Amino acid sequence: MMIAGLVASLLLQGDGGNSVSVIPPDLAAFDDSAGVCLSESRSLFAHPLNPETAEFDLLALARPWSVSEALPDFPAQDRASQDLESTADPHDSFTGFFETHFSSRAWKEYVWEDYLTEPSVLLPAGLALSAVLIHPWDKRLETHWHGLLGGKQIYSNMGQYILVGSAILTGILFPGDGRNAWDETWTIGESFAASSLTVAVLKAAVGRPRPGSTPGTKNGTHSFPSGHSTAAFTSATLIDRNSGPLVGIPAYLLAGFTAFERVEAGRHYPSDVLAGASIGALSAGIFDSLHWGKGPEGGIGRALADLQINFLDRLHGAELAWETRF
């Protein structure tokens, strides 16, 4: 191999100051029998063309690792994106989990810049403000709405079950563009865990009696905030961010009906369900942003949109054919 390298060097030698070299600077760094470099400093042959000496290293082309090491130096912003892409799976290990979920950079770029400063945060903010403003009229509105549809909890229970199940199924079976079922599972789990923990802490801290209940009895002080409303809006937000507004808007409507039913059934005051809705929407928005940024939409919402477009195209085509015929 060394002899072949010398011959190639003589054949490829150019005129003038620039020459083409296939011989490594340190012949002792090569194993002649294996033909591989034993030197730890592989950067000497990182790129086949040295921009400073204009020397071409044919051996660099034969090394499989030379491709990755031959990458040019990236600008700061490109290097940052490259670092993000090369980060280990956040759910592959405890180290990866803490590096991503407790990273100030991730929270700044994905949560703060892509969610908390975007128009989408107006939903939980508006719900929270509404809960504060409506509080003085809580009892009057609860009395007025109670029993309008029979005062049965089955409606709110069914709404909650449908929404939670839909959020799980759409996220896992129909992940949006750029998403995957594994990370969607964690996004859903973390969102529900955060919202449920927040509700549990607030229920214990506030201790607001339910409408018509006696403080100190079972669930007697579990009125604020509404757990059903929290779960419903957590689900609706997850569905909307994963599948898009085509599915997200109906999910929000069902979540709103579920929240209203908690008041109609005499289990909560209006401010309870509004606060729960705000907690649910905010929790889902934060953790979905932490995983996906602004959240590429797709999944089942994109599929339904495509079906609608195809149907309209066919309908338009049929109209054109009818007009052409007559």
**In the chain, where are the structural domains located?**
2-69, 104-307
For the chain, what percent of residues have pLDDT higher than 90?
44
The tens digit of pLDDT for each residue in 211-228 reads 987 666 666 678 999 999
The pLDDT assigned to 152 comes to: 87
pLDDT band (50, 70, 90) for residue 102: confident
CATH class of the region 104-307: mainly alpha
- Residue 131 pLDDT > 60: yes
The pLDDT assigned to 306 comes to: 54
Cα distance between residue 255 and residue 278, in whole Å:
12
Q: What is the DSSP string of 24-78?
A: -S-GGGEETTTTEE--S-GGGGSSSB-TTT--B-HHHHH-TTHHHHTPPPPPHHH
Task: Name the nearest CA neighbour of 223 among 276, 174, 170, 260.
Answer: 276
- Residue 19 pLDDT > 60: no
In the structure encoding, which two tokens stand for residue 56, read together? 């071409």
Angle at 125 between CA 272 and CA 213, to 5 degrees: 5
pLDDT band (50, 70, 90) for residue 137: very high
- Residue 157 pLDDT > 70: yes
Average pLDDT over residues 159-178: 95
Task: Name the nearest CA neighbour of 44 among 28, 18, 26.
Answer: 26
The tens digit of pLDDT for each residue in 24-54 reads 444 444 444 444 444 443 333 334 444 444 4
Cα distance between residue 290 and residue 84, in whole Å:
13
> How many DSSP H helices and E strands does the chain contain?
14, 2
For the chain, what percent of residues have pLDDT higher than 70?
58
Higher per-residue confidence, 247 vs 178: 247
Report in angstroms the alpha-carbon separations of 86 from 66, 82, 90, 110, 164.
Answer: 18, 6, 11, 17, 33
Amino acid found at 275: A
pLDDT band (50, 70, 90) for residue 94: low
The tens digit of pLDDT for each residue in 246-303 reads 999 999 999 999 999 999 999 999 999 999 999 999 999 999 998 888 755 444 444 4
- Per DSSP, the three-state class of 192 is helix
- Residue 126 pLDDT > 90: yes
Least confident stretch, 103-117, 147-161, 197-211 = 103-117
Cα distance between residue 163 and residue 169, in whole Å:
10
> Can you give the pTM of this predicted structure?
0.65
Cα distance between residue 284 and residue 238, in whole Å:
6
